[in-house]
Amino acid sequence: MNEEVKRLLNEQINKELYSSYLYLSMADYYDYNNLDGFANWFYIQAQEEVDHAMLLRRYLLNNGEAIELEAIAKPDLVFNSFKDPLVGAYEHELFVTASINNIYEKAASVKDYRTMQFLDWFIQEQMEEEKNTDELIRKYELYAEESKGLYQLNQEFGARVYAPPTLVLD
């Protein structure tokens, strides 16, 4: 595998694990503030991010590449309102999308068609992630400015269930 493509994929493992850590910090914030449904949504999101890291790990290993795990940074977003994590999540997904696009661009430039095909799933997934986190903000703005709406939105987010990724690597 091209050294730079390999380096970027390895680095993406860290970014996905950081994403998981960041979303866990959001789940912690909501749980602490008794919004267990919001916490559920972000706890599941944190699990999905670990799944993404494991897909990248497996892809590198399946291609005979070694993994080098790095330290995971402390999630240091400060939340001053219940809306803050929602905006933070959306902005973070835009960052992840740019990162995936950057790997794709490098893979394309060295004609690494296999990695491009592997990343197709992530590119589609990022569209979902951006849409989902944007929806959180818009629903919050629509319903949650008063307490009854916040209560109901908390119940809706509490109904989210974990689903494993649709991409499976042996």
Site stretch for Fe ion (CB under 5 A), options 41-49, 74-82, 100-108, 154-162: 41-49
Site for Fe ion in 132-151 (CB under 5 A): none
- Closer by beta carbon to Fe ion, 112 or else 125: 125
Nearest to 10, CA basis, from 58, 64, 56: 56
- Closer by beta carbon to Fe ion, 16 or else 112: 16
State the helix-helix crossing angle for 36-62 and 84-109, rounded to 10 degrees: 10
Nearest distance, CB of residue 49 and Fe ion, angstroms? 5
Residue of 23, 37, 52, 153 interacting with Fe ion (CB under 5 A): 52
Residues 67/57, Cβ–Cβ less than 8 Å: yes
Integer Cα distance of 152 and 144 in angstroms:
8
15 interacts with Fe ion by CB under 5 A: no
State the helix-helix crossing angle for 147-158 and 113-143, rounded to 10 degrees: 150
How many residues of this chain bind Fe ion (CB under 5 A)? 3
Site stretch for Fe ion (CB under 5 A), options 27-35, 44-52, 81-89, 151-159: 44-52
92 interacts with Fe ion by CB under 5 A: no
Nearest distance, CB of residue 167 and Fe ion, angstroms? 12
Site stretch for Fe ion (CB under 5 A), options 48-56, 82-90, 139-147, 161-169: 48-56
Integer Cα distance of 75 and 63 in angstroms:
31
Integer Cα distance of 1 and 4 in angstroms:
9
Site stretch for Fe ion (CB under 5 A), options 14-22, 97-105, 108-116, 154-162: 14-22
The contacts of residue 56 (CB under 8 Å, 6+ apart) are 9, 10, 12, 13, 16
Residues lying near Fe ion in the complex (CB under 5 A): 16, 49, 52
